[in-house]
């Protein structure tokens, strides 16, 4: 038996799938693509997560594009984080040429250019469906993370959320959060101290400055209503899964907002989706481009929570795929949870690069046909080392792979094409509306106006002035008003909210 036949037999034995699969490409041996050595990925294990890695310009984005296409054709929706702005072309058919046709022929697949159902989304000024979440839904842990607070300041944020839960003050946007902070350090200082203990004015001032800084980065566009319902990621159209492209090109300078948004999204999906069990295909796949932005500034506590979500979210039928330059960008405990690994070429320009390549090679199974560290530096554009999990959860043989060409446009949409796509979206009509219902800001303003009127009438000192003795009547009426018609239910509702806070301290919209 020739070496090529041994190679084909080796791959075939590791890819005996009974269920449906997608074809990523064909194997390469001794620098030549081998017809009849297709590299297949079973749908059944796509909720075991994955990694797409490689140096800049080696084809990571096109591989991501191919995976999203093939998932859509199988009726599986996906969510793509588009930080570089080059994924909108999924909505339009690709262009055939001799190079693509020859590649497809070698791989053994037909090349049928077509556009796929795409929904453009944004958390900033980009055109598309506006993704929003309330401050309350974000929760104290993620709010503290995005503001980069120390332990003392995190305690103040936790107190704020606890107080607003007790007295039913909705925290919808940053305006609400700032108003409650002002209340805690001014008008309600004494009441808060009696119930929760003293709150440092310097801590409140620091938090306030950080919120203002966040507003200047455009976060006020993200916090508020109408909150996005993650079930809208699960749509299909004409039997094809809808590809939700979240356009993030204008927030690269604010990675903290991006990373915290991603963690909030994962937490919401985890808390909202029901258990799926061992299904034949995933319910949803998420592709996180520039994944190092998620991990580079995360604390150990937050990394532990990300790891917990990655471990548990697969039971909800969700696969999470991290796209980055090297596997070392992903923490080892999370890297060990990733079933599919697609490694594009790495460059060895320095001694540090060579050490990184040696370490990267250790993340992949041994192969009788390759020396992994050598292949890593010799692959061309559109080639990758690939290993997945078979239906029994066993890694498939490592294969140097010629990746198939995308069937959609390998370029971005024009502005007019984007406008047409956005104008025809049903979700834009659903979510792109400005809502500002009564929340903590309005409630506190109204109550303080009431107190001032009562104080003027009774000629009492203004709120915030020091006084001794028992709590004044205006202050009593303020606290009573906040909890009016809720005293009987307060213990139950507080317990409910504490239980509803999720793994990242966020508050599930489904549980509201």
- Model pLDDT for residues 20-69, shown as the tens digit of each residue: 999 999 999 999 999 999 999 999 999 999 999 999 899 999 999 999 99
* Peptide bond between residue 11 and the one before it cis (omega within 30 degrees of 0): no
Give the helix ranges, DSSP H, for 172-241.
Answer: 174-185, 189-196, 201-216
Percent of the chain scored above 90 by pLDDT?
48
In this prediction, residue 442 has a pLDDT band, given cuts at 50, 70 and 90, of confident
* pLDDT the model gives residue 101: 96
Residue 490's pLDDT band (cuts 50, 70, 90) = very low
| 123: phi then psi, degrees, rounded to nearest 5 | -115, 10
- Per the model's pLDDT, the better-predicted residue between 137 and 233 turns out to be 233
Q: Are residues 415 and 466 in the same domain?
A: no
- Under 8 Å between Cβ of 298 and 309: no
pLDDT tens, position by position, 264-308? 888 889 889 999 878 899 999 999 988 887 787 666 777 887 888
Shared domain for 268 and 139, answered yes or no, is no
Statement to judge: residues 377 and 495 lie in one domain = no
Of 414, 431, 448, which one is at a domain's C-terminal end? 431
What's the rounded Cα separation, in Å, for the pair 165 and 152? 20
Q: Of 431, 462, 483, which residue constitutes the final position of a domain?
A: 431
pLDDT for 483 beyond 50: no
Predicted confidence (pLDDT) per residue in 127-136, tens digit: 999 998 889 8
C-alpha distance across the termini of the chain, in Å: 65
Q: Are 23 and 70 in contact (CB under 8 A)?
A: yes
Q: Helices marked H in 74-126 — which ranges? A: 98-107
Total domain count, the chain = 2
- Average pLDDT of span 322-348: 90
Least confident of 154-158, 353-357, 412-416: 353-357
Q: Are residues 354 and 416 in the same domain?
A: yes
pLDDT: is 261 or 344 the higher one?
344
For residue 253, the model assigns a pLDDT of 67
Q: How confident is the model at residue 501 (pLDDT cuts 50, 70, 90)?
A: low
Q: How far is CA 380 from CA 118, 121, 215, 337, 401, in A?
A: 30, 33, 44, 28, 10
Q: Quick check: 433 and 121 in contact, CB under 8 A?
A: no
Which pLDDT score is estimated for 305? 77
Instruction: Give which of 271, 284, 260, 340 is closest to 312, Cα–Cα.
Output: 271
Which residue's structure tokens are 């079930």? Answer: 231
Spatial contact of 177 and 211, defined as CB atoms under 8 Å apart = yes
Cβ proximity of 98 and 305 under 8 Å: no
Compute the average pLDDT of residues 353-372.
86
CA proximity to 70, closest of 388, 291, 417, 344: 388
| pLDDT score at 424 | 92
Residue 347 pLDDT grade (very low, low, confident, very high; cuts 50, 70, 90): confident
Residues 40 and 14 in one domain: yes
Q: For residue 369, which phi and psi values (nearest 5 degrees)?
A: -105, -10
Q: Which helix (H) or strand (E) is 449 found in, with range?
A: helix 440-458
Claim to verify: residue 421 and residue 503 sit in the same structural domain: no
Mean pLDDT of 226-245: 95
Q: Are residues 77 and 55 in the same domain?
A: yes
Mean local confidence (pLDDT), 376-384: 94
- For residue range 204-233, list pLDDT tens digits in order: 999 999 999 888 877 888 888 888 999 999
What's the CA gap between 257 and 478, in Å, rounded? 36
User: What is the model's pLDDT at position 24?
Assistant: 97
Query: What Rg do the C-alpha atoms of the chain give, in angstroms?
Result: 27
The confidence score (pLDDT) of residue 363 equals 81
pLDDT at 460: 54
- Residue 190 clears pLDDT 90, i.e. is over it: no
Mark whether 352 and 258 lie in a shared domain: yes
Q: What is the pLDDT of residue 468?
A: 46
- Given a cut of 80, whether residue 487 has pLDDT beyond it is no
Give CA–CA dist 460/49, Å, rounded. Answer: 63
Residue-range definition of the domain harbouring residue 253: 3-132+225-431
Q: Return the closest-CA partner of residue 370 out of 400, 347, 401.
A: 400
Predicted confidence band of residue 242 (pLDDT cuts 50, 70, 90): very high
Number of alpha helices (DSSP H) and beta strands (DSSP E) in the chain: 19, 14
Nearest to 385 by CA among 397, 43, 109: 397
Name all contacts of 383-386 with Cβ < 8 Å and 24+ positions apart. 383/28, 383/59, 383/344, 383/345, 384/25, 384/54, 384/59, 384/63, 384/342, 384/343, 384/344, 385/341, 385/342, 385/343, 386/24, 386/25, 386/39, 386/340, 386/341, 386/342, 386/343
The model's pLDDT over 245-273, given as tens digits with 9 standing for 90+, comes to 999 887 766 766 777 788 788 888 988 99
How remote is the C-alpha of 337 from its chain's centroid? 17
Tell me the average pLDDT across 401-426.
95
Beta bridge partners of 467: none
**423 and 406 housed in the same domain:** yes
189-193, 326-330, 506-510 — which is least confidently predicted? Answer: 506-510
Distances (CA, A) of 324 to 151, 243, 357, 364, 450: 31, 20, 14, 16, 55
- Helix, strand, or coil (residue 239): coil
Which range among 228-232, 427-431, 477-481 shows the weakest confidence by mean pLDDT?
477-481
Does residue 305 sit in helix, strand or coil? helix
Model pTM score = 0.85
Same domain as 279, residue 261: yes
Which range, of 3-12, 428-437, 500-509, averages the lowest pLDDT? Answer: 500-509
Q: Which residues contact 353 (CB under 8 A, 6 or more apart)?
A: 346, 347
324: helix, coil or strand? Answer: strand
286 and 399 belong to one structural domain: yes
Residues 154 and 258 in one domain: no
pLDDT at 467 over 60: no
Q: State the CATH number of the domain containing residue 317.
A: 3.40.50.300
Of 382, 402, 431, at which residue does a domain stop? Answer: 431
Determine which of 142-146, 226-230, 348-352, 364-368 has the lowest per-residue pLDDT on average.
348-352
| pLDDT attached to residue 250 | 73
Q: pLDDT at residue 313 above 60?
A: yes
């Amino acid at each position: 038996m020739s070496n090529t036949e041994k190679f084909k037999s080796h791959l075939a034995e590791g890819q005996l799938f009974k269920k449906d699969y997608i074809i990523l490409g064909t194997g390469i041996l001794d620098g030549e693509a081998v017809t009849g050595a297709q590299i297949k990925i079973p749908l059944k294990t796509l909720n075991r997560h994955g990694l797409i890695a490689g140096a800049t310009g080696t084809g990571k984005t096109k591989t991501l594009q191919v995976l999203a296409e093939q998932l859509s054709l199988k009726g599986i929706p996906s969510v793509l984080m588009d930080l570089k702005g080059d994924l909108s072309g999924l909505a339009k058919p690709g262009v055939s040429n001799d190079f693509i046709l020859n590649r497809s022929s070698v791989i053994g697949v037909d090349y049928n250019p077509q556009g796929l159902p795409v929904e453009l989304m944004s958390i900033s000024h980009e055109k598309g469906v506006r993704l929003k979440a309330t401050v309350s839904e974000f929760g104290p842990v993620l709010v503290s993370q995005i503001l980069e607070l120390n332990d003392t300041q995190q305690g103040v944020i936790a107190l704020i959320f606890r107080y607003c839960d007790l007295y039913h003050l909705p925290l919808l946007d940053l305006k609400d959060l700032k108003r409650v902070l002002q209340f805690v350090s001014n008008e309600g200082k004494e009441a808060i101290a009696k119930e929760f203990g003293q709150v440092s004015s310097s801590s409140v001032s620091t938090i306030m400055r950080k919120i203002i800084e966040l507003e200047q980065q455009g976060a006020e566009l993200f916090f508020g209503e109408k909150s996005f319902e993650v079930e809208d990621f699960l749509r299909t159209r004409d039997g094809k899964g809808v590809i939700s492209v979240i356009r993030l090109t204008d927030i690269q300078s604010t990675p903290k907002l991006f990373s915290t948004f991603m963690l909030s999204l994962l937490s919401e999906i985890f808390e909202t989706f029901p258990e799926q069990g061992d299904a034949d295909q995933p319910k949803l796949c998420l592709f996180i481009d520039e994944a190092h932005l998620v991990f580079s500034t995360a604390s150990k506590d937050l990394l532990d929570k990300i790891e917990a979500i990655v471990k548990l979210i697969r039971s909800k039928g969700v696969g999470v795929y991290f796209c980055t330059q090297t596997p070392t960008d992903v923490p080892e405990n999370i890297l060990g949870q990733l079933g599919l690994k697609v490694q594009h070429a790495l460059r060895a320009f320095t001694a540090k690069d060579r050490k990184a390549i040696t370490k990267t090679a250790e993340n992949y199974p041994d192969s009788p046909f390759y020396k992994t560290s050598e292949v890593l530096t010799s692959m061309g554009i559109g080639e990758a080392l690939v290993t997945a999990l078979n239906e029994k959860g066993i890694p498939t043989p490592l294969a140097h792979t010629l990746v198939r060409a995308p069937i959609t446009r390998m370029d971005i949409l024009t502005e007019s094409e984007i406008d047409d796509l956005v104008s025809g979206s049903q979700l834009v009509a659903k979510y792109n509306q400005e809502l500002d219902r009564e929340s903590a800001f309005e409630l506190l303003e109204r109550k303080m106006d009431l107190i001032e009127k009562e104080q003027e009438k009774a000629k009492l000192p203004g709120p915030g002035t020091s006084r001794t003795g028992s709590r004044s009547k205006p202050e009593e009426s303020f606290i009573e008003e906040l909890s009016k018609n809720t005293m009987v239910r307060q213990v139950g509702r507080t317990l409910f909210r504490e239980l509803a806070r999720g793994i990242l301290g966020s508050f599930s919209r489904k549980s509201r």
